[in-house]
């Protein structure tokens, strides 16, 4: 296995691009009719909204390594060693269960029930989930949480076999993300009150 792998939902980039496009098109329309002040406010608001969306939608990720798993949520980063992780759950989102607490990831939400209608037994081959008697919809390899689960099972198994698995548990607050959100919300409140 590779030393580390970053898992992040790719569709969120499209959402951010649509938000930026709509905001900048609004600014261009203001500039084109000669309303410079409204155009500048639209640009500032678009940048503030994009900053908030970056923190909430793009920044969350899961980093798999030979030592353990890192869950990067918008305002907190959690590092859990493979030996400390007792189980992985995908009920609402990909969750790492330890003896003390559960840590959910914003980067891998579970899917709806509709995806299970399109699943076939062959979709689970080679995923490591064949041994389960009942495979939940959220465990599906087509869902974000299912893909994160499969990667976690593979990295955990190979790290424990090779003896590189760690037993650490570290929680950190992302102060930069908090500051970006506070400043962006402040900018939005100020410009919208004008």
Per-residue pLDDT for 103 more than 70?
Answer: yes
The model carries a pTM of 0.80
Q: pLDDT higher for 26 or 123?
A: 26
β partners of residue 192: none
Per-residue pLDDT for 171 more than 90?
Answer: yes
Cβ(110)–Cβ(99) under 8 Å? no
How many other C-beta atoms can be found within 10 angstroms of the C-beta atom of residue 124? Answer: 18
User: Percent of the chain beyond pLDDT 90?
Assistant: 49
pLDDT, mean of residues 119-128:
54
Please tell me the predicted confidence (pLDDT) of residue 164: 85
Cβ(147)–Cβ(8) under 8 Å? no
Burial class of residue 114, CB neighbours in 10 A (0-12, 13-18, 19+): exposed
Sign of the torsion formed by the C-alpha atoms of 105, 176, 155 and 163: negative
* C-alpha–C-alpha distance, residues 80 and 35, integer Å: 52
Beta strand 76-81 with 87-89 is unpaired
CA triple 8-152-17, angle to 5 deg:
5
* C-alpha–C-alpha distance, residues 78 and 27, integer Å: 39
pLDDT by residue (tens digit) across 136-152? 555 566 677 777 888 88
Please tell me the predicted confidence (pLDDT) of residue 126: 56
What's 5's DSSP letter? E
- Smallest CA-to-CA distance from 92 within 77, 73, 111 is with 111
What is the average pLDDT score of the chain? 84
Cβ(15)–Cβ(57) under 8 Å? yes
* C-alpha–C-alpha distance, residues 146 and 157, integer Å: 16
Please tell me the predicted confidence (pLDDT) of residue 153: 87
């Amino acid at each position: 296995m590779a030393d580390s792998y970053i898992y992040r939902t790719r569709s969120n980039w499209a959402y951010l691009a649509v938000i930026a496009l709509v905001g900048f098109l609004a600014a261009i329309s203001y500039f084109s009719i000669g309303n410079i002040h409204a155009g500048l406010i639209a640009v500032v608001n678009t940048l503030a909204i994009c900053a908030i969306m970056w923190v909430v939608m793009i920044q969350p990720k899961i980093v798999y390594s030979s030592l353990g798993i890192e869950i990067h949520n918008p305002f907190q980063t959690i590092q859990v060693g493979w030996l400390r992780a007792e189980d992985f759950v995908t009920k609402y989102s990909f969750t790492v269960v330890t003896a003390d607490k559960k840590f959910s990831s914003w980067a891998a939400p579970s899917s709806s029930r509709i995806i299970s209608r399109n699943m076939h037994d062959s979709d689970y081959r080679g995923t490591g989930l064949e041994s389960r008697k009942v495979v939940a919809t959220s465990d599906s390899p087509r869902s974000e949480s299912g893909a994160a689960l499969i990667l976690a099972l593979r990295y955990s198994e190979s790290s424990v076999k090779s003896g590189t698995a760690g037993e650490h548990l570290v929680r950190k607050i992302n102060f930069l993300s908090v500051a970006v959100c506070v400043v962006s919300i402040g900018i939005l409140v100020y410009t919208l009150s004008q």
